[in-house]
Structure 1
Amino acid sequence: MVDVSGKWALVTGASRGVGYEVAKFMAGKGCNLILHSRNLEHTKQIEEEVKALGVEAYSVQAELADYEEVVAMLDLIEKKGTEVDIVFNNAAVQIAYRENYWETPVEDFDMSFRINFISMAAICFRLIPKMIERGFGRVINTTSGIKNEPEQSGYAASKAALDKFTKDLASKLEGTNVMINITDPNWCRTDLGGQQAPNAVESAIPGVVVGAFVDDQKSGRFFHAENFYGLSFEEAVKKAESIEANPYVI
């Protein structure tokens, strides 16, 4: 199991929901944090909470729909000299639920792909090569289990693109000690999931974080949070390493 104490993790969408839970958990394990949101005001509370746990932390802001803002955020992290060891690409948006899905506007796809896929790809392309150079890295991309719902086609398609992208990159990382995997927090009561969701946001832990701690250099796995319900953290990491890695074969 990886010891993350003293390492640096970037958590997108850290101000609330699953990202908030991830940030608290990682701080509890001694991991320093870069906390992303659209506005620095949004991460003030979580920044104070994680610093109180004895780790270093600072906040960054970027509207993920704006590629230039994503680049500026990454430039700032680099300018600060922070070597990012772990990435939780958690932030996402669900544009709308289109009951008349035959009239889904193209804007649903445009915005969904900008935030849910392109921003994450940009982060991966910027940070993973540096992880390879240093000989360590963990990337956890958050997907969705939504299927057979064209009412949410923009959101679902953007997540499908992220899944494909993640597995394609996974095929290139063998032997680097840089690992990229996918997690699904399940349908949780968050601003995105809504209050009708069946699961408390806390239930996403430990499933959404195990990808930062697995240590067998295998990528392309899918960690569904519901498969880790009720397990201790140690049990969860052990189970995660027993899941077959499934990158696409070249």
Structure 2
Amino acid sequence: MVNVQGRWALITGASRGVGYQTAIFMAKQGCNLILHSRSLEHTKKVEEEVKALGVQAYSLGAELGNHEEVVRMLDEIEAKETQVDIVFNNAAVQIAYRTDYWATPVEDFEASFRINFISIATICNRLIPKMIERGFGRVINTTSGIINEPEQAGYAASKAALDKFTKDLASRLEGTDVIISLTDPGWCRTDLGGPHAHHAVESVIPGIAVGAFVDDKKSGRFLGAQQFTGMTLEEAVAKAETLEATRYVI
């Protein structure tokens, strides 16, 4: 199992919900954190909390739907000379629930893809090559289990694009100690999931983060958080490493 103590992790959407849970959990493991949100004011509380746990942390604000802001955030990380070893691409947006899905506006797709896919591709393309050069890295991309719901077509399609992108990148990481994984928190009671969701947000721990700790050089796994609920981190890692990394078959 990977020891993350003293390493640096970037967490997008760290101010609330699943991102907040991930930040607190990783800080408890001794991992230093770069905390992203749309506004620095949003991460003030979580930054104070993780620092109180004894790790280093700083916050960055960026609107992920704006490509220039994403690039500026990555430039700032580079300017600080932070060696990013772990990335949790958690932030996402669910635009709307369109009962008349035949009339889904193109803006739903454009906003969903900018935030839920293009920003993540930009982050991966910037940071993964440096991980390969250094010989270590972990990237965990948050997907969704939503299926057969054209009412959420923009969101679902953007997550499907993320799945494909992640799996394709995984095929190029074979034999390296850079591991890319997919995770799904499940339907949780968050601002995005709403109050009627099946799971408490705390149930994502430790599964939402287990991809940072696997240590067998196998990329492309799907690590659904709910299948690890109630386990210790050690138990979760052991289970994760038994799961096969599936490939697309053409």
TM-score (ref. length: structure 2): 0.99
1:187-230 CA distances to partner (integer Å, 9 max, x unpaired)? 00000000111110000111110000000000000001121122
Which runs of 5 or more structure 2 residues have no equivalent in the other structure?
none
2:85 aligns with: 85
Residue 147 of structure 1 corresponds to 147
Mapping of residues 11-160 of structure 1, within 5 Å: 11-160=11-160
Equivalent-residue separation in structure 2 for 1:163 and 1:179 (angstroms)? 15
The AA in structure 1 aligned to 2:52 is A
Structure 1 residue identity aligned to 2:80 = K
* Percent of pairs with identical residues: 76
- Counterpart CA distance in 1 for 2:142 and 2:232 is 21
CA distance in 2, matches of 1:25, 1:229: 14
Contact persistence 1:171–1:248 (CA under 8 A):
no
TM-score (norm 1): 0.99
The size of the alignment, in residue pairs, is 250
Superimposed CA distance per residue, residues 150-198 of structure 1 (whole angstroms, 9 cap, x where no aligned partner): 0000000000000000000000001110000000000000000001111
- Structure 1, unmatched stretches of 5+, are none
What's the counterpart of residue 195 of structure 1? 195
CA displacement, residues 74-94 of structure 1 (integer Å, 9 cap, x when unaligned): 000000000100000000000
The range that moved more, 226-235 or 38-47, is 226-235
1:167 maps to 2:180? no
| 1:205 aligned residue | 205
CA distance in 1, matches of 2:179, 2:165: 14
SS in 1 for 2:42: helix
What is the CA–CA distance in structure 2 between the aligned matches of 1:99 and 1:185, rounded to whole Å? 25
Cα distance in 2 between the residues matched to 1:178 and 1:222: 16
Aligned to 1:214, the other structure's residue is in SS state coil
Distance apart, 1:249 and its partner CA:
6.5
Q: Secondary structure at the match of 2:194?
A: coil
CA–CA distance in structure 2, aligned partners of residues 168 and 207 of structure 1: 23
How far, CA to CA, are the matches of 1:8 and 1:175 in structure 2? 23
- Alignment-mate amino acid for residue 86 of structure 1: I
Question: Take 2:249 and 2:30, find their aligned partners in 1: how far apart are those partners?
Answer: 36
Report the Cα distance in structure 2 between the residues aligned to 1:146 and 1:73, rounded to whole angstroms: 30
Q: Give the AA of the match of 2:229.
A: Y
Q: Deviations over 1:108-156 (max 9, x none)?
A: 0000000000000000000000000000000000000000000000000
Mapped partners of 2:152, 2:208: distance in 1: 23
Q: Which amino acid aligns with 1:31?
A: C
Determine helix, strand or coil for the equivalent of 2:192.
coil
SS in 1 for 2:207: coil
Aligned CA RMSD, in angstroms, stands at: 0.9
What SS does the corresponding residue of 1:42 show, helix, strand or coil? coil
SS of match in other structure, 1:179: strand
Segments ≥4 residues shifted beyond 4 Å: none
Deviation at residue 248 of structure 1 after TM alignment: 3.6
